[in-house]
Structure 1
Amino acid sequence: MSHILVTGGAGFIGGNFVLEWLSDPAADGVVNVDKLTYAGHRQTLASVGDNPRYVFVQADICDRMALDHVLAKYQPRAIVHFAAESHVDRSIHGPAAFIQTNLVGTFTLLEAARAYWSSLNTDSRAAFRLLHVSTDEVFGSLGVEAPSFSETTPYRPNSPYSASKAGADHLVRAYHHTYGLPVLTTNCSNGYGPYQSPEKLIPRIITNALAGKALPIYGDGLNIRDWLYVGDLCAALRAVLAHGRVGQTYNVGGGNERSNLQIAHTLCDLLDELRPRREDSYREQICFVEDRPGHDRRYAVDANKIHSELGWQPVESFESGLRKTVQWFLDNPVWVQAALRNEGVGHHAA
């Protein structure tokens, strides 16, 4: 059986990617390497646990011996690299883990991939791909009227998280230009949808609202992000893996710029409709707190390259995707409670 190797496949985007990939009975098998930190949830993948096309390996991407063993055993035709520390607040309070996973881990994976790729026969070497999944945060902060990030926007990361991802992006680029490793990189806007960590903005507002807790918003709440439903994001990644030009980067965005306060209001209104309280609106739980250090004001992504080259377009509107997301969190309280316990989620603001 032919396989792809996925790192971080028990996380939010990785888990959705694995589930959607395996929903195609003609697709390759998946070998999922995940360390299972606080953000990795085995229960996300419970529905494919007995699938003969799915293999789970608990390992750290910083463990070269483990990576070499997996590559030698399963001989994947491609690697999709999701594994990362990804929460900005956590990177402010504990940056070391971000340097270790995002920089050292990506370096270790690249070294293992280079050795494996070099050992393949001519046809397999030509077909092999390594897709590195990164973030729009590497480009820094935009002014309100500034044009969206393009693939040629200079890197200006402002948090330990975005700096560690920028470093990983540069390593991936260097391994292509120095060694010829056939890589692809995506810089994606803010994803949202089922199975997302409750420490992230949208699921945190949902879970706090339902628990009757405060909905703390950083600063004035006018920090803007571009939002993309995770199913559309996974479709974009599959398109890049299948048809992207080797060595290229592709920005992936939804064209849905919203402020954090707009997100909170929309979510409260959806909850008022789908899980109404007896009296006041969930909006009454919104409060404002001191802004976090170095909080980027705006991200916006120009996705014209992936539209024109690969024909990818998002299917979900922001409204349809957000409604699906709220309904999923309402319908899956067991997963949500397990995730909250696993992560020891604090009361980070939005």
Structure 2
Amino acid sequence: MNLEAHFADRPVFVTGADGFVGSHLTERLVDYDTDVHVFVRATSSGELRNIRHLQDDITVHRGDLRDKHSVTEALKVLKGHSDAIIFHLAAQAHVGESWERPYETVDTNINGTLNLLQGIVDLDLDIYKFDTAGTSEEYGNIDYQMEDKHEYDEDGRVLLSERSPVNPTSVYATSKLAADFLTMNYHDAYGVPGVTTRMFNNYGPRQNPRYITGTIITQALERDIVELGNLTPKRDMCFVEDGVRGHLHVAVEGNPGEEYVYGYGENISMLDWAELLLEVGNEEDYWDEPEIVQRNDRYRPGDSDVEELLVGYEKLHEQTGWEPEVSWREGARRTIEWYAQNTDTWMGRVDWR
């Protein structure tokens, strides 16, 4: 499918546009000559940090997802546009911080989604698609009472798809699952053309350095040791540009009322991921073999860590042709390059200093 042709001049509304995935999505939409409207939280500093270079090509609406009035006022721009698409990516998206800021996480992720959906109903908007960005964390660990409900690959690994049981193990995951269900509730009750997209472990340029990939790279760039927590969990690491294409395909070709999951289609332990990143950085002369050190205080609370995530993205592939295009090594190289060239954007945000 020629995505560019489907988005040219189309009105699109993006929440979380200045975030990690949101900024890459916004950048792609601008490249497609889309009529881009972004909803960003007005702050005293750091506003439009990731999309400042796009500000002449987008319309910025300032407000707060938790404030119903500002959300509804911003959505008015979509009145009379039946081809409009809303990408809802705004969230408190860090698992660890969801334990430190549980009320903000719930308020932003659940009430923020509710404000958007109710705003669409209150304004009687007739839009083409509403894409709520979910997360692979919603699956959590296997509830062994539900073992027979899961699918398995030829190696006996749990293969997570749209049909898999969910079992969230963090405040963040629970709040995102609630947002997914709200999206489906409003589809069933009011006909809001909602879809949910569960991306698996996006990484890449501009990601908050407190996530695992940024934590590894930023430490390796600055010192001889890389301090990490639990290294046994396995994750399905998907480069952000592939993740963005997934959102775009679902928005155009996905069926309202349905869910779509996607990722790289293979997983890797966090120890092996760290070693892969460090190996690529060594090859590119960014550092000289830093040592990996485990620290107990970097583990998630109690039994809340998710042991293994692996996606089966057949549904999205069959319906749209989507598949990942960026290999782990290429994604690692491009991500390391960005962190190395943009030290001033992340140095004050790391959690290891």
- Shorter-chain TM range is 0.7 to 0.9
Counterpart residue identity of residue 105, structure 1:
G
Counterpart in 1 of 2:23?
A: 15
2:222 counterpart letter in structure 1: A
Match of 2:51 among 45, 50, 62: 45
| Residue 218 (str. 1) matches residue 229 (str. 2) | yes
The alpha-carbon distance between structure 1 residues 134 and 304, as it changes in their structure 2 partners (threshold 3 A), is: same
Q: 1:38 to 1:206 in 2, by over 3 A?
A: farther
TM-score of the two chains, using structure 2 as the length reference:
0.87
Aligned to 2:89: 82
Q: Cα deviation per residue 1:303-343 (whole Å; 9 max; x = unaligned)?
A: 0100111111111111211111112222333xxx23343x4
User: Deviation digits for residues 151-210 of structure 1, max 9, x if unmatched?
Assistant: 011221001110111111111111111111110110110001111111111112111111
Work out whether 1:262 is the aligned partner of 2:272.
Answer: yes
Tell me by how many angstroms 1:46 deviates: 2.1
* Secondary structure at the counterpart of residue 102 of structure 1: helix
- Alignment of 1:347 with 2:329, yes or no, is no
What does residue range 195-214 of structure 1 map to in structure 2 within 5 Å? 195-212=206-223, 214=225
1:123-162 → structure 2 map (5 Å cutoff): 125=126, 128-142=128-142, 145-162=156-173
CA contact (8 A) 1:256 1:318 kept: no
Q: Identify the residue that residue 100 of structure 1 maps to in structure 2.
A: 107
Structure 2 segments unaligned to the other structure (5+ residues):
1-8, 145-154
TM-aligned CA deviation for residue 36 of structure 1: 5.5
How many angstroms apart in 2 are the aligned matches of 1:74 and 1:250? Answer: 25
Q: What is the CA RMSD across the aligned residues, in angstroms?
A: 2.2
Choose the corresponding residue for 2:338, options 328, 332, 342. 328
Give the counterpart of 2:72 among 68, 73, 79: 68
User: Which of 96, 115, 125 does residue 122 from structure 2 map onto?
Assistant: 115
Structure 1 window deviating more from structure 2 (201-210 vs 42-51): it is: 42-51
Residue pair 2:24, 2:244 contacting (<8 A) in 1 also = yes
Seen in structure 2, the aligned counterparts of structure 1 residues 13 and 276 have a Cα distance that, compared at 3 Å, is closer
Whether the aligned pair in 2 keeps the contact of 1:34 and 1:40 (CA below 8 Å) is no
Alignment of 1:209-288 (within 5 A): 209-212=220-223, 214-219=225-230, 221-277=231-287, 281-282=289-290, 284=291, 286-288=292-294
Mark the CA change 1:131 to 1:167 in structure 2 (over 3 Å): closer, same or farther.
Answer: same
| Whole-angstrom CA distance in 2 between matches of 1:31 and 1:239 | 19
> 1:155, 1:66 → 2: CA distance?
33
Rounded Cα–Cα distance in structure 1 between residues aligned with 2:181 and 2:347 = 34
Q: Match for residue 316 of structure 1?
A: 326
Using the TM superposition, give the Cα deviation of residue 37 of structure 1 relative to its aligned residue in structure 2, in angstroms. 6.8
Amino acid at match of 1:132: T
1:138 maps to a residue whose letter is E
Rounded to whole Å, the distance in 1 between the matches of 2:94 and 2:77 is 33
Look up the equivalent residue of 2:213 and give its one-letter code. I
Kept after mapping to 2: 8 A contact 1:191/1:230: yes
Give the whole-Å Cα distance in 2 for the aligned partners of 1:292 and 1:68.
Answer: 37
- Provide closer, same or farther for how the CA distance between residues 93 and 15 of structure 1 changes in structure 2, counting only shifts above 3 A: same
* Partner SS for 2:38: strand
Partner of 1:30: 36
Aligned counterparts of 2:117 and 2:224: Cα–Cα separation in 1: 43
Displacement, 1:275?
2.8
In 2: Cα distance, 1:306 partner to 1:324 partner: 26
Q: Which runs of 4+ in 1 moved over 6 A?
A: 37-40
Q: Aligned partner of 1:252: which letter?
A: Y
The 8 Å contact of residues 11 and 40 in structure 1, kept in 2 or not, is answered as no
Question: Is the CA contact 1:10–1:36 (under 8 Å) kept in the aligned structure 2?
Answer: no
Distance 2:45 2:352 in 1: 16
Which residue identity lines up with residue 11 of structure 1 in the other structure? G
Cα distance change, pair 164–39 in 1 and its aligned pair in 2 (3 A): farther
Equivalent residue of 1:162, what SS? helix
- Residue 4 of structure 1: aligned partner: 12
